[in-house]
Structure 1
């Protein structure tokens, strides 16, 4: 499994993810986006230093995406997001890709903190995030509207020194 920078040729795969209702419900986004709109967004953000988008591949096959968003170089923090397509779920790829995204944030971008938001009812995701060292810092009530109702969200964070301790223990 590897991650690499998102390329224009990946957009049809991203388009499928962005229009998959169940997946977008967990990203708290509307599952509605045209390929033309996605291409325009890609062109607009290709040089945006406040985000990094990576494709997850296994044997040259598209598995999903991991993104670093809202990269703040003053406060040295960013949000991380991940999606694994249905075909590849349950194989440990989300954990591995998430760890690579975290590593990039801390070791390449020199972030102090990586954070994320997750639906409190998305237990598989919460499990993966905890396994990677994220700590629940709080619960945000009725934070997102998805599938006709409001959802509570955990705000989870991982500090660089916590990451370093985890990596030390894995050696």
Structure 2
């Protein structure tokens, strides 16, 4: 995977104008194997989700941010879920829209999120669950300092079969 170090992104709160992007991402069946979603979302449900989100991880128990490129186009979504304030950790999730993949946006967005978790949220660690066959995500996370952890046997159900997943962790050093 080519790492583009000159890629700049902005992470921002969801806006009502993001409804079409979220609708496209949440209803892309090819992405359902990497998350816990297995049903389509209506525009109404997503509209209410955007309207009701406080964008405060302590209130929502998650943080979902839009990834925007230099041209101010939404290129994807990045989030922290499974927030555990007692143990100061959360699970990383990221989706880059198909036409923007392999251009360095994921690397840039995760890097920004790491800075945010270090300097604002003061988390001790973030982790990701990655399909063992997803070499692109594995290399992206490894290049950002995530360590390879345990293999979770038959953790993900996709296309009628169970697949192994790996836990990748990043311990965040205080800067």
Whether the TM-score (by the shorter chain) exceeds 0.5 is: yes
Match of 2:62 in 1: 51
TM-score normalised to the size of structure 1?
0.87
1:108 aligns with 2:120: yes
| Pairing 1:10–2:21 present | no
Deviation at 1:28, TM superposition (A): 4.8
In structure 1, list runs of 5 or more residues that go unmatched: 165-171
Select between 4-13 and 75-84 the one with higher mean Cα deviation: 4-13
Higher-helix-fraction structure: 1
Count of residues in correspondence between the two structures? 163
- Within 5 Å, give how 1:138-149 maps onto structure 2: 138-149=150-161
Query: For 1:77-96, what aligned pairs fall within 5 Å after superposition?
Result: 77-96=89-108
Which runs of 5 or more structure 2 residues have no equivalent in the other structure?
A: 1-8
- 1:75 alignment partner, SS class: coil
Greater relative CO (CA pairs within 8 A, separation 6+): 2
Which whole-Å CA distance do the structure 2 matches of 1:35 and 1:153 have between them? 31
How far does the alpha carbon of each residue in 1:45-101 deviate from its partner, in whole angstroms, 9 at most, with x for none?
Answer: 436342111111111111001101122221111111111101111111110001111
